[in-house]
Amino acid sequence: MRRWLLDRPEDYVLIQQASDVALASETGRLAVAFDIKGAKAIGDQISLLENYRALAVRWMLLAYNRSNRVGGGCQDEDMGLTPFGRDVVQEMERLDMLVCLSHTGHRTARDVLAMAQRPVIFSHSNPATLRPYPRNIPDELIRACAETGGVVGISGIGAFLGDNDSRSEIYARHIDHVVKLVGAPMYPSPWIMSLTSRISTLAWPAWLICWGGRPTQLAERNGARRARAGPLWAAA
């Protein structure tokens, strides 16, 4: 896929940094980046992260429902972030790769959010307050994600929204709940906005992009976080 994209520069831009999204938009092309669903893809070799980044992988879910060497999955026994997992998170931050906690167990997610020095995301996780479901997350994790300057994406899958109910009004209720918890969007990343716009078209009805924090409470802290976030999170 990477070679296929690179062979078609008139239509696609392979994302290396946030400014590539703006470049794609300005030139009428599609900006593309890859993610990995679960750290099983690296086994016990942290060095593979650098290889994946070179191949345009820009974020990785730490778990995909089941537990692995890094930590717990949301549908498995969750013993928390392992020492190896801490090393993985630190290396991902060094490489400017996004740490995604969707599909990850709540205990592991808390551990990651407590140590994070850069924005962390839940790319597609809905509020468990509205829909108790293994894939959804409690309000405390939504707030903690916001504290890092990260984003929360709302999935349009019916099972995550209600009893297999994907009506627009149910979806809007989930968006409203998150906005009331952590405030309206502040400084949306053009890279994230572009990616989620494409993903919503291809996979889910839409995503909520909610930069963490109420302006009066979190803007200063989030600004400091983003200042340390590196080229991937820099404004285009």
Domain boundaries, the chain: 61-227
The pTM of the full predicted model, rounded to 2 decimals, is 0.79
Q: Has residue 189 got a pLDDT over 60?
A: no
What pLDDT does 50 receive? 96
The pLDDT confidence band at residue 166, using thresholds 50, 70 and 90, is confident
The pLDDT confidence band at residue 17, using thresholds 50, 70 and 90, is confident
φ, ψ of residue 191 to 5 degrees: the values are -65, -50
* Structure letter (DSSP) for residue 99: E
Helix residue ranges, H only, 78-231? 83-94, 106-115, 139-147, 158-161, 168-182, 190-202, 215-227
**How far, in Å, are 2, 95, 96, 100, 172 from residue 138 at the CA level?**
36, 29, 27, 16, 18
User: How many CB atoms are located within 10 Å of the residue 50 CB?
Assistant: 12
24 alpha-carbon distance from chain centroid: 21
What is the rounded CA–CA span in Å between residue 102 and residue 207?
14
> To the nearest whole percent, how much of the chain has pLDDT over 70?
78
* Structure letter (DSSP) for residue 97: P
Q: Give the mean pLDDT of 95-116.
A: 97
The pLDDT confidence band at residue 183, using thresholds 50, 70 and 90, is confident
What is the rounded CA–CA span in Å between residue 110 and residue 207?
23
Reduced to 3 states (helix: H, G, I; strand: E, B; else coil), residue 40 is helix
Q: Beta strands 120-121 and 12-14: pairing type?
A: unpaired
DSSP code string of 207-232: -----SS-HHHHHHHHHHHHHTS-TT
Q: What is the pLDDT of residues 199-235, one digit of tens each?
A: 333 333 233 333 333 333 334 444 444 444 443 444 3
Q: Give the mean pLDDT of 23-30.
A: 94
Average pLDDT of every residue of the chain: 82
What is the rounded CA–CA span in Å between residue 236 and residue 233?
9
Q: Give the mean pLDDT of 92-100.
A: 95
Identify the CATH number of the domain defined by range 61-227: 3.20.20.140
What pLDDT does 185 receive? 55
What pLDDT does 184 receive? 64
Q: Give the mean pLDDT of 95-124.
A: 96
